[in-house]
Every structure is written in C-alpha cells, then in structure tokens.
C-alpha cells in the first residue's frame, strides 16, 4: 500500500480532567522530536471536570499553521469521543477504541474506517504483572497508551515518545519516564501488523531539523512582554487570557510585579498608574473584562499614558462562548470608551507575531504615549504550534520622549514641568514622578500644558489637536511592512484579506489553491489602527476579486475597509460558531466564491 | 507599638519646607466654608512637617469636589476617575514603592462607586495613606445622599428622607484588613494634621475618614453642629472627642499575638459603632503587618534590590537585556 507520509490530522478527546491535554502534549512533542511540524487545536467547555473536550493535532513535514476538518486518526480511551466525532473521520482513517466501552457498530462512521480495538485495561494488567506496579497506579497512564498506539499505527519510532516524555517530566518528575515508556512499549506490542499494513498514513522522522519551540500564544505574548522590559502586569482571571499572567507570575526571577486585581477596572488602572511611574506596564483580558476597561482606557488616552492591553477575543456578546474563538471586537477596540482619543490597535495573527507584537506594542505605547491594544484571539492563544526559535537579535527598546537634562532646562520652571507641552508631532516629553523639577498634574478633565483643568474653548481645540495628531505621526513613522503584510503572488487576480488568526489557514491553503489553478494572495491587515489606508487601497485596487475572511457575523474588517478606503468588498467568508477556521474550510469557501460568485459564505465546521 | 516607619531618606527635602511650599496658584473653586479647605491645609502642613520633598510625593484622587485637591497641592498630582483613586494610587505605589503616595477622595467616591476597590486595598495592605473627605452628600452633583448618610436623614438637598442605611467606613475598613484606621474632623486643626502624619508614617494601608461639613447641601451636620457642646451624663462635652485622650489605645503592641489583634479589633468595632451625642475621633486601630510589596518581594527577591520602575531591562543602546533562555529551554523540542 502506498502510504501518505507526514500529512496527518490526529485527534484525541474525552471528558475534561481525564488527561486529554496531556495526551495531545505528548503526541505533539513526540512528532516535533521526530523533526515534524505541528499545529494543535484545543477545544474545551467552560467546565472543570466532565464535559467533552478534544485536541486535534495536524502533523506535517513542513510548517503548518492551521488544522484540517477530516480526522485521519481518532484516538479514544472512553466512549463519548467516538460518538461525538465519528462523523468527522476521513474515509480510510482509523479509530483506536477500547472494545470494552465502545461499540463501533453504533457509531456514525464513514465507510472504510479502520477499526483498531485496544483493551486499555489489558495493557495495564500486563505491565502491572511484569513490573509489580499496582494496577491502580498505572491507570493514569492510559493517555500514554493512546499516544503510543497511535505512533505504533503510524510506524513512528517509540524513541520519539521517550524524547517527548523526557521533555515533559523534568526534575523530580523525571522518574516517571521509565514506567511511562514501559507502558508505551506494551501498547506498541498490542498494535498488530495487519492494522499497520491497512492504515494508509505514516509518520517518518526528518533528520537534522533544528530544535523548534512548541508553545501556545499566551506564552508567546508573555515572553514578548518580558523581553520588552515590561515589569508590571495586572489581570483578573478570565479565559482565554489568564494563562499568560499566571505564566508570568511563575517567572519571578525577572522581578515582574504581577497583580491579580479585584476586577478589570482596577487591572487597567493599576497598569496605567504604574506606567506613569516609569515601568512598562500591561494588562491582559478577554471580552467581558475588555468592556470594563473602557473607562480607564479613555483616561489613559486623555493623559497620554503608554499602556498595553492585550485582548484575547472569545465568543461574545456578554459571557458568550467563554472558551471558544471569535474575532468580533475589532470595531469595539477601535471605538471603545467615550469621547475621542488616539489609540494604536495591532492584530497579531500567529505565534511568532504574538511574541514580536507584544514586544513592539510597548515601543508604540512609549513612542506615541497612548494606549496600545493588542487584539489577540483564542485560536492562537490556546493553540499549540511548532515554530522556529525567535530572532531576538534585532529587538530594540524605544522608551520615546523621556526628559533629558536639556529638556528639564527648557520645560521646567519653579519645580514644575510642562508635561503636555504642545509640539509639532503631538508628542510631548514626559518625566517620571520622583524627578526633581518634573512636577506636573494629570486629570481626566481637559487640561493645560501643566496638567491643570482648563475648560477654555481655545485650549480644548489645541489639546485635542495635539493628542489626535499623534495618530498621524504614528501613521507616518510606522513602516508599511508593519502595517500590512502581503503573502503570495503580488500580481494574483484574487486577493484574500484578513486580520488575526485566519491568516494561518489561508497561508496553508494558498499553495493548494494554486495547484487547482486559483492564483491567490493574502493581504493581512496587521496594524488596524491607525488604519493603513494607502497600502490597503493600493493592493485591493489591483485585485480582480477580493474575498474578506474573518471570524464574525458582520464582516467588521470589510466594513472598516469600506469606511477608510471606499472599496466595497463583494465577497465574505465568515464564521461565528466559535470554532476556528480550518484550511479545509478556506479551500471550500474560496472554491465556492470562485465558482458561484457567492457573496457571503458562512462556515460551520467544528464540534 | 508606635509607628516604626520613617520617611524614606530619599524623599526628604534638602531645603526647609513650610505648608506654603505645597501650595499651587490654581484657583480653588470650593464653596466658602467647605471642609475641603481644612483638610487640604492639613495635608500641606503634614507634608511640610514630615520634610517630604514635593517631587517625591504623588497625590492621587478620584472625582468630585474633594478630588480636585491634587491641583491645589504642589506635588505630582493624579486626578483620576470617579471611584478609582485606589487602583491608581496602589498601582503607582507598587511600581515605585520608594515614593510617598497619598490617596484622597470623597465618601461617594471611596465608599460608593469605589467600594470594591476600598475593600481589596485593605486585603493587600499597601503602604500608603488614604484620606476620605466625608460630608455625607454628593456635593458636585447637587447634594444627593452619599453612602455614609444615615437612614431617615434629610439634608436640605434631598426632597425626601434617605431610604438607605449609612455605611460605617471604619467598621468596613476593619473587616477589609486596613492596618491603620482613624477618624478626624476637617476643622480640628492639629488633630487632623497629626492624624494624617501618623497615617503617612504608618507602614501599611491607612484610612483617615475625615468628617466635614458641606455648607451648601448638608445642613444636618454643618460647622456649627460639629462645634457644639453637648450634654453627656449631665456634663458639658465637645461634639468631637479624641478617644486617645480618654484611655483608648487602638494600637496592637505585638502583631504576632492573635488574641491581642482580636481584642483590639473588637474594641475598634465597638468604638466605630459608638452611639450618642458625641463623635469619637482618633486612631481606632493600628497593627503592623507585612505590606503587599514585601509579600511580593518575598517571591521575587530582585524586587528588594530594585523597584519595578528602576529594574534595568535594556542597555544604553536600547538592546533588551532580559535573557529568555531559561523559559525558552522548557519550550524547545
């Protein structure tokens, strides 16, 4: 049988709290240890124990940035996962199941699915008999059995599992590696050759691949913040954001002040005031918390305080889909808080950008002395990807205009400092409290150059002009390569435009579309505010067909593009069922637009 | 146990100071006779007597009449949002604990819209003073009932008597974990100034609830009422009496002695609920416990060496100096 090598969609599922994540972590790391690339999608309920969760890992010989809809190998250790996901299985795929609890004849399986029974208890009984370890102590290792059985079926060497285990169980836990390996080897022995021969998928290790990072988006943001010199992080627990703050709290050697606040109102305000004192400060949240931050954001805008807010979007409105994915906060981020003030909104779209943008956000905040919103989302935040190590060599910290001695001479009088001095760029020089001669005031009221309340109409106009001018300055200074990114053939007739995480499945789909004769490129709007009007107009005007792709109902980016450029995008591929877009869906959606000229394609895949 | 904390030497002025050095030339727009004048003057005198350099002090406020105070005091001033003085003040203090941070604001600001922050500030025991200007009304919006106005009371600004119970800020602070809880009166002069100084010198979260008249809207508790002599058990007594001059000592001597803490808390709770013609003022409760910064620095010892605001994170060319190799090593496969 001709095998399909290194192109696999694997899934494991089970009730929450039964080790689904651990299994996926082990399988993913084993693949990467073997030189392969992974993208892992994690789906879970707002629940601690019992509700169904699953983890889907796409494995490839090349970098992958998205998942596929069909499941080629479904590994289960209890009965619910097979029932829930049977219909998602690809013909020719395989189901690993425990015959003592799962009865395939009752499942809604497509034809030609290879049934691989695996008696988990028997594996453990044999290990128990051979090692003398009590059976009850081994039960927890059923996850290892699932992974080992999967690898056996894929003819993937068990040494990769051992490498992965060694990476997971470190320090005092290292003693768990041998017993897990004993269980794994036993599971290998249970997968008969006839099954392996019938299964068309295979994983082959690739040699000499450099070590890769395997991480979730939350971690990438956290590391970007540390690198940027952020030493003040506030948060209120919320999914899918708090993993970032908790991770930072654990890295106490950097001296990061991580404060768990009473609510998101306090979170954003503590970060703002910390920033006033001179430390780079940030907060991370998701929709409901982001809504509460509006008031503080307006104050930071009014007082020209650099602060970085990471909003990990999830399904809204209200509590919405607390553990699911959506991108419906774009227009909100552009407008939230009453009144008008400048803000910079960045939309990172993959794990690398989560790191670099978290870093760069502080430079923008300091340089333009205004709030910077990083619009992240659950898809990247909670999903795992293998990526090349970050290139930290070019990173530079820019603290913006902080008063020098010369500035003090110019702007300080009688111990006080014109913090909000009018300037060409709109940016003023700041002092950090504690500086002699640097005294100034801040107020949520309109104010004069010293920061005292001034409601006069003339001052209002001058101050509002000064603040808003910073946006023009930012637009002019930020390189085009940061504002937008174009992937694929610049001369392509078809342009897909998106922001945030749909970038992954679109990039993965471009080469496949090309093979089908559809030459498309991707325009990623990376800085969504100030809007890159010129670059976006230039590219969209060239395209014969434009398809806007995003994860919301109202096509928010398309409406923003129309507002800012006058260009009406005729086709939208949208999704709002809380599950991220797959490569499969991009392919299907683009084909439909190309063939049928459909104006609105709504995607619905994912359980 | 008297206050153990001294002013941080970095914050001491190298020139002699008077209250005048803490005055700005900003026009003060409070109503004539407002208690805010007395409190602001006391803050200025307290800062001068503590010899604090103006540029080493940050005064934060919320929103309302009294929250305009920072503009009238020549230190770094942060006039924030309604009810939000504490998050701003404690964020500033945690970022640079070497600075002296003082929070001021009204009773509606602190006990109403900011009540959640009020409670959690107590739990954290941030080393700063919070002075609440308590006049029982929302003056700036024409005298609506504030959270401290008692049920059934009807100042002239209300069409009908107040239907809400008044909150007891001192008892609330006691439950929340404030480690210095005091009350004073806006025109008590030396008492208020000394209480503010003690609050600033206290190592931990200090509340000074300052009773004050609102001459425009609160005709129940006006300046005259506070100055009255009242009859107690046949004796003529001043309305406001200093509890510490009458055998009351709210200070915990041994903070490791839980029995003593409980006894002092009970005593303070009782005194906070004192009923009678007189109004007790003074320090109701004081204990020295680890501050929030100390607790954090225990987990992150580098914060004993640097503050978050002074931690070096880049070299002179702006290259980041944070070495990520340790956390990244756990992520490399």
Q: What tens digit of pLDDT does each residue of A253-277 get?
A: 999 999 999 999 999 999 999 999 9
Tokens of B163: 């239907």
Chain B, residues 240-269, CB within 8 A of chain A, namely none
Nearest CA in chain B to A389: B332
B159 and A CB contact within 8 Å: no
Asked if B88 lies within 8 A of A214 by C-beta distance, the reply is no
Asked if B54 lies within 8 A of A415 by C-beta distance, the reply is yes
B106-164: pLDDT as tens digits:
999 999 999 999 999 999 999 999 999 999 999 999 999 999 999 999 999 999 999 99
A408-459: pLDDT as tens digits:
999 999 999 999 999 999 999 999 999 999 999 999 999 999 999 999 999 9
Q: What is the pLDDT of residue A1?
A: 83
What value does the mean pLDDT take over residues A374-384? Answer: 97
Asked if B71 lies within 8 A of A415 by C-beta distance, the reply is no
Asked if A292 and A283 touch (Cβ cutoff 8 Å), the reply is no
Per the prediction, chain B carries an average pLDDT of 97
Helix (H, G, I), strand (E, B) or coil at A309: strand
B26-36: pLDDT as tens digits:
999 999 999 99
**Residues from chain A contacting residue B307 (CB–CB below 8 Å):** 279
A215-387 shares its CATH topology with A480-603: yes
**Residues from chain B contacting residue A261 (CB–CB below 8 Å):** 87, 120
Position B3 pLDDT exceeds 80 = no
Asked if B79 and B70 touch (Cβ cutoff 8 Å), the reply is yes
Which of B55, B79, B296 is nearest residue A443 as measured by Cβ atoms?
B79
Please tell me the distance from the alpha carbon of residue A296 to that of residue A294, in angstroms, as a whole number: 6
Asked if A214 lies within 8 A of B333 by C-beta distance, the reply is yes
Residues 6+ apart with CB under 8 A from A183: A123, A124, A127, A138, A141, A144, A145, A148
A494 upstream amide cis, omega within 30 of 0: no
Which of A215, A270, A398 is nearest residue B91 as measured by Cβ atoms?
A270
A187-242: pLDDT as tens digits:
999 999 999 999 999 999 999 999 999 999 999 999 999 999 999 999 999 999 99
**Quick check: pTM over 0.90?**
yes
**Residues from chain A contacting residue B303 (CB–CB below 8 Å):** 255, 257
What value does the mean pLDDT take over residues A370-374? Answer: 98
Q: What is the pLDDT of residue A422?
A: 98
For residue B326, count CB atoms less than 10 angstroms from its CB and return exposed for 0-12, middle for 13-18, buried for 19 or more: exposed
Residue A582 is classified by DSSP as P
Asked if A233 and A256 touch (Cβ cutoff 8 Å), the reply is yes
Which of A251, A255, A273 is nearest residue B88 as measured by Cβ atoms?
A273
CATH 3.40.50.300 fits A4-209, yes or no: no
CA-CA distances (angstroms) from residue B160 to B140, B167, B170? 19, 19, 27
| First CA to last CA distance, chain B | 57
Position B2 pLDDT exceeds 50 = no
Position B1 pLDDT exceeds 80 = no
Q: How many pairs of residues across A and B have Cβ atoms under 8 Å apart?
A: 224
- Domain definitions of chain A by residue range: 4-209, 215-387, 405-477, 480-603
In a mutational test of the B interface, the residue from A38, A386, A443 whose CB has the highest number of chain B CBs within 10 Å is A443
Tokens of B269: 């709770």
Nearest CA in chain A to B96: A277
Please tell me the distance from the alpha carbon of residue B204 to that of residue B223, in angstroms, as a whole number: 32
Asked if B78 lies within 8 A of A276 by C-beta distance, the reply is yes
Q: Band the pLDDT of A556: cuts 50, 70, 90.
A: very high
Asked if B79 lies within 8 A of A386 by C-beta distance, the reply is no
Asked if A91 and A58 touch (Cβ cutoff 8 Å), the reply is no
Asked if B70 and B131 touch (Cβ cutoff 8 Å), the reply is no
Tokens of A506: 């679109």
CATH 3.40.50.920 fits A480-603, yes or no: yes
Helix (H) or strand (E) holding A151: helix A142-153
Please tell me the distance from the alpha carbon of residue A81 to that of residue A55, in angstroms, as a whole number: 11
B99: closest CA of chain A, how far (Å): 7
CA-CA distances (angstroms) from residue A95 to A10, A73, A341, B163, B301? 10, 6, 56, 67, 52
| CATH match for A215-387 among 3.40.50.300, 3.40.640.10, 3.40.50.720, 3.40.50.970 | 3.40.50.970
Asked if B328 lies within 8 A of A213 by C-beta distance, the reply is yes
Asked if A513 and A585 touch (Cβ cutoff 8 Å), the reply is no
Q: Band the pLDDT of B6: cuts 50, 70, 90.
A: confident
Asked if A256 lies within 8 A of B300 by C-beta distance, the reply is yes
Percent of chain A at pLDDT > 70 equals 100
What value does the mean pLDDT take over residues B47-76? Answer: 98
Please tell me the distance from the alpha carbon of residue A438 to that of residue A408, in angstroms, as a whole number: 7
Which of A167, A257, A390 is nearest residue B94 as measured by Cβ atoms?
A257
**Residues from chain A contacting residue B74 (CB–CB below 8 Å):** 415-416, 439
In a mutational test of the B interface, the residue from A33, A210, A273, A356 whose CB has the highest number of chain B CBs within 10 Å is A273
Asked if A433 lies within 8 A of B302 by C-beta distance, the reply is no
Q: What is the pLDDT of residue A9?
A: 98
In a mutational test of the B interface, the residue from A274, A360, A401, A440 whose CB has the highest number of chain B CBs within 10 Å is A274
Please tell me the distance from the alpha carbon of residue A526 to that of residue A478, in angstroms, as a whole number: 12
Please tell me the distance from the alpha carbon of residue A245 to that of residue A232, in angstroms, as a whole number: 10
Of A27, A321, A331, A283, whose CA–CA distance to A153 is shortest? Answer: A27
Of B232, B186, B175, whose CA–CA distance to B210 is shortest? Answer: B186
Please tell me the distance from the alpha carbon of residue A63 to that of residue A58, in angstroms, as a whole number: 10
B17: closest CA of chain A, how far (Å): 14
What value does the mean pLDDT take over residues B171-190? Answer: 97
Give me the domains of chain B, ranges plus CATH numbers. Answer: 9-329 (3.40.50.970)
Q: How far does CA A132 lie from the centroid of its chain?
A: 44
Asked if A306 and A282 touch (Cβ cutoff 8 Å), the reply is no
Chain B, residues 3-32, CB within 8 A of chain A, namely 24, 26
B274: closest CA of chain A, how far (Å): 31
In a mutational test of the A interface, the residue from B103, B296, B331 whose CB has the highest number of chain A CBs within 10 Å is B331
Angle in degrees, CA A178, A184, A187, rounded to 5? 150
Percent of chain B at pLDDT > 70 equals 98
The full DSSP string for A219-242 is HHHHHHHHHTTEEEEEE---TTTH
Asked if A282 and A310 touch (Cβ cutoff 8 Å), the reply is yes
Torsion from C-alpha of A550, A583, A347, A399, nearest 10 degrees: 180
Tokens of A429: 């020089």
Chain B, residues 168-197, CB within 8 A of chain A, namely none
Asked if A73 and A82 touch (Cβ cutoff 8 Å), the reply is no
Of A463, A187, A160, whose CA–CA distance to A304 is shortest? Answer: A463
Nearest CA in chain A to B93: A274
B92-113: pLDDT as tens digits:
999 999 999 999 999 999 999 9
- Residue A99 has phi, psi (to 5 degrees) of -65, -15
What value does the mean pLDDT take over residues A299-312? Answer: 98
What value does the mean pLDDT take over residues A294-303? Answer: 98
Question: How long is chain B?
Answer: 333
A19-58 burial, b at 16+ Cβ within 10 Å, e below that, comes to bbbbbbbbbbbbbbbbbbbbbbbbbbeeeeeeebbbbbbb
Asked if A167 lies within 8 A of B333 by C-beta distance, the reply is yes
Nearest CA in chain B to A258: B296
A25-69: pLDDT as tens digits:
999 999 999 999 999 999 999 999 999 999 999 999 999 999 999
Q: In this structure, is the dihedral angle defined by the CA atoms of residues A359, A361, A362 and A367, taken in order, positive or negative?
A: positive
Nearest CA in chain B to A33: B333
């Amino acid at each position: 049988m001709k095998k399909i090598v290194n192109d696999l969609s694997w899934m494991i599922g089970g009730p929450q709290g039964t080790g689904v994540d651990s299994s996926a972590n082990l399988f993913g790391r084993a693949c990467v240890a073997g030189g392969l690339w992974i993208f892992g999608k994690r789906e879970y309920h707002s629940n601690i124990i019992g509700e169904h969760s699953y983890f889907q890992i796409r494995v490839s010989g090349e970098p992958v940035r998205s998942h596929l809809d069909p499941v080629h190998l479904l590994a289960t250790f209890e009965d619910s996962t097979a029932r829930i996901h049977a219909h998602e299985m690809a013909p020719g795929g395989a189901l690993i199941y425990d015959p003592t609890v799962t009865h395939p004849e009752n499942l809604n399986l497509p034809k030609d699915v290879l049934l691989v029974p695996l008696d988990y208890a028997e594996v453990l009984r044999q290990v128990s008999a051979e090692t003398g370890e009590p059976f009850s102590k081994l039960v927890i290792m059923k996850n290892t059995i699932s992974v080992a059985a999967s690898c056996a079926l894929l003819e993937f060497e068990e040494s990769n599992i051992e490498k992965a285990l060694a990476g997971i169980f470190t320090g005092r836990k290292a003693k768990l590696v041998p017993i897990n390996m004993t269980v794994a080897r036993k599971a290998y022995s249970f997968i008969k050759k006839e099954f392996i021969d019938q299964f068309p998928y295979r994983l082959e290790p690739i040699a000499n691949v450099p070590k890769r990072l395997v991480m979730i988006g939350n971690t990438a943001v956290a590391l970007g913040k540390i690198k940027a010199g952020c030493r003040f992080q506030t948060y209120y627990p919320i999914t899918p954001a708090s993993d970032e703050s908790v991770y930072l709290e654990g890295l106490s050697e950097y001296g990061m002040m991580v404060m768990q606040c009473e609510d998101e109102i306090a979170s954003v305000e503590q970060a703002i005031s910390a920033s006033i004192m001179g430390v780079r400060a940030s907060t991370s949240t998701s929709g409901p918390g982001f809504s509460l931050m509006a008031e503080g954001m307006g104050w930071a805008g009014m007082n020209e305080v650099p602060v970085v807010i990471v909003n990990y979007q999830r399904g809204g409105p209200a509590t919405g889909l607390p553990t699911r994915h959506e991108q419906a906060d774009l227009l909100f981020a552009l407008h939230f808080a009453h009144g008008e003030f400048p803000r910079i909104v960045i939309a990172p779209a993959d794990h690398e950008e989560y790191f670099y943008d978290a870093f760069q956000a502080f430079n923008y905040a300091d340089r333009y002395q205004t709030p910077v919103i990083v619009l992240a989302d659950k898809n990247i935040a909670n999903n795992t990807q293998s990526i090349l190590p970050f290139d930290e060599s070019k990173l530079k910290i820019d603290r913006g205009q902080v008063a020098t001695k010369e500035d003090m001479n110019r702007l300080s009088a009688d111990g006080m400092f014109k913090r909000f001095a009018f300037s060409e760029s709109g940016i003023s020089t700041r002092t950090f409290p504690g500086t002699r001669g640097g005294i100034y005031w801040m107020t949520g009221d309109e104010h004069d150059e010293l920061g005292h309340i001034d409601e006069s109409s003339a001052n209002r106009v001058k101050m509002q002009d000064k603040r808003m001018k910073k946006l023009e300055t930012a637009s002019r200074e930020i390189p085009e390569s940061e504002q937008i990114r174009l992937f694929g053939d610049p001369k392509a007739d078809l342009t897909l435009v998106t922001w945030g995480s749909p970038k992954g499945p679109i990039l993965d789909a471009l080469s496949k579309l090309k093979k089908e004769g559809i030459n498309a490129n991707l325009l990623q709007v990376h800085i969504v505010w100030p809007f890159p009007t010129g670059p976006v107009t230039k590219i969209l005007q060239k395209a014969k067909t434009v398809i806007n792709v995003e994860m919301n109902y109202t096509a928010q980016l398309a409406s923003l593009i129309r507002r800012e450029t006058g260009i009406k995008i005729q086709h939208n591929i949208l999704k709002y069922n809380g599950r991220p877009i797959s490569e499969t869906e991009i392919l299907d959606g683009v084909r439909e637009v190309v063939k049928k000229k459909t104006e609105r394609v709504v995607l619905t895949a994912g359980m | 146990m008297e206050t153990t904390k001294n002013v941080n030497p970095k914050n001491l002025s190298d020139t002699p100071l008077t209250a005048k050095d803490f005055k700005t030339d900003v026009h003060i727009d409070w109503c004539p006779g407002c208690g805010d004048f007395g409190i602001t003057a006391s803050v200025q005198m307290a800062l001068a007597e503590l010899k604090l350099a103006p540029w080493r002090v940050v005064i934060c406020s919320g929103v309302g009449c009294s929250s305009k105070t920072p503009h009238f005091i020549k230190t770094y001033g942060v006039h924030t949002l309604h009810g939000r003085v504490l998050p701003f003040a404690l964020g500033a203090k945690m970022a640079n604990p070497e600075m002296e941070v003082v929070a001021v604001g009204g009773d509606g600001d602190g006990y109403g819209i900011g009540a959640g922050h009020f409670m959690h500030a107590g739990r954290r025991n941030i080393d700063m003073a919070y002075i609440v200007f308590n006049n029982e009304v929302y003056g700036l919006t024409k005298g609506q009932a504030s959270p401290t106005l008692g049920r059934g009371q009807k100042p002239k600004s209300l069409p009908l008597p107040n239907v809400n119970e008044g909150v007891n800020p001192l008892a609330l602070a006691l439950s929340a974990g404030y480690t210095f809880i005091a009350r004073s009166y806006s025109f008590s002069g030396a008492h208020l100034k000394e209480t503010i100084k003690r609050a600033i010198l206290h190592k931990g979260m200090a509340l000074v609830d300052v009773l004050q008249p609102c001459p425009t809207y609160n005709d129940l508790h006006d300046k005259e009422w506070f100055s009255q002599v009242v009859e107690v058990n046949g004796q003529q007594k001043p309305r406001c009496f200093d509890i510490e001059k009458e055998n009351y000592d709210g200070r915990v001597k041994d903070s490791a002695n839980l029995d003593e803490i409980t006894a002092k808390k009970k005593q303070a709770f009782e005194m906070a609920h004192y009923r009678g013609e007189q109004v007790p003022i003074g320090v109701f409760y004081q204990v020295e416990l680890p501050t929030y910064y100390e607790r954090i620095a225990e987990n992150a010892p580098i914060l004993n060496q640097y503050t978050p605001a002074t931690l070096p994170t880049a070299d002179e060319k702006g290259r980041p100096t944070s070495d990520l190799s340790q956390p990244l090593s756990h992520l490399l496969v």
